[in-house]
């Protein structure tokens, strides 16, 4: 992987952005929970933060696809929607571990492939 440089000339590492906004994670509106705390804890325990950045954001935009996550690396963006089970978030951790060990291995775990979408 060639780390792309940002406007400051810094290398950009792969990034996982978890949406936890007006729709994603709003269980009071009938949507599925987003385990942000668990994910951050797991990221820390597995020491992934130096190689793959994890962050949560209020709203990524495509709310109708809740719950949403965005994986970015090189010049690629992978949107994931309809995340509705712990197993999906576990697979995001798996992807983070995989790309942290081998930056050329950005293949999605099988369980995430059907959740990929392209936002309008
Ligand atoms: S709240 Fe997640 S995309 Fe808007």
Q: Is the CB of 64 under 6 A from ligand 1?
A: no
Nearest CA to ligand 1 atom 3: 63
In whole angstroms, how far apart are CA 103 and each of 2, 67, 74, 114?
A: 9, 26, 10, 22
Question: Does the beta carbon of 63 sit less than 6 angstroms from any atom of ligand 1?
Answer: yes
Ligand 1 centre distance from Cα of residue 63 (Å): 4
pTM value > 0.85: yes
Domain ranges of the chain: 15-117
- The crossing angle, in degrees rounded to 10, of helices 86-101 and 36-45 is 30
Strands, sheet with 15-19, edge to edge from the N-terminal-most edge strand: 53-57, 15-19, 69-73, 76-80, 116-117
Just give the CATH number of 15-117: 3.40.30
- pLDDT tens, N- to C-terminus, the chain (120 residues): 445 555 544 457 999 999 999 999 999 999 999 999 999 999 999 999 999 999 999 999 999 999 999 999 998 999 999 999 899 999 999 999 999 999 889 999 999 999 999 998
């Amino acid at each position: 992987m060639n780390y792309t440089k940002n406007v400051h000339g810094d290398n950009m590492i792969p990034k996982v952005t978890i949406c936890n906004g007006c729709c994603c994670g709003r269980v009071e509106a009938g949507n599925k929970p987003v385990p942000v705390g668990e994910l951050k804890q797991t990221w820390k325990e597995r020491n992934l933060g130096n190689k793959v950045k994890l962050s949560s954001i209020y709203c990524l935009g495509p709310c109708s696809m809740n719950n949403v996550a965005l994986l970015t690396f090189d010049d690629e963006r992978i949107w994931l929607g309809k995340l509705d089970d712990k197993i999906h978030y576990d697979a995001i951790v798996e992807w983070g571990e995989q790309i942290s060990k081998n930056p050329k291995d950005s293949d999605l775990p099988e369980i995430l492939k059907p959740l990929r979408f392209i936002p309008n």
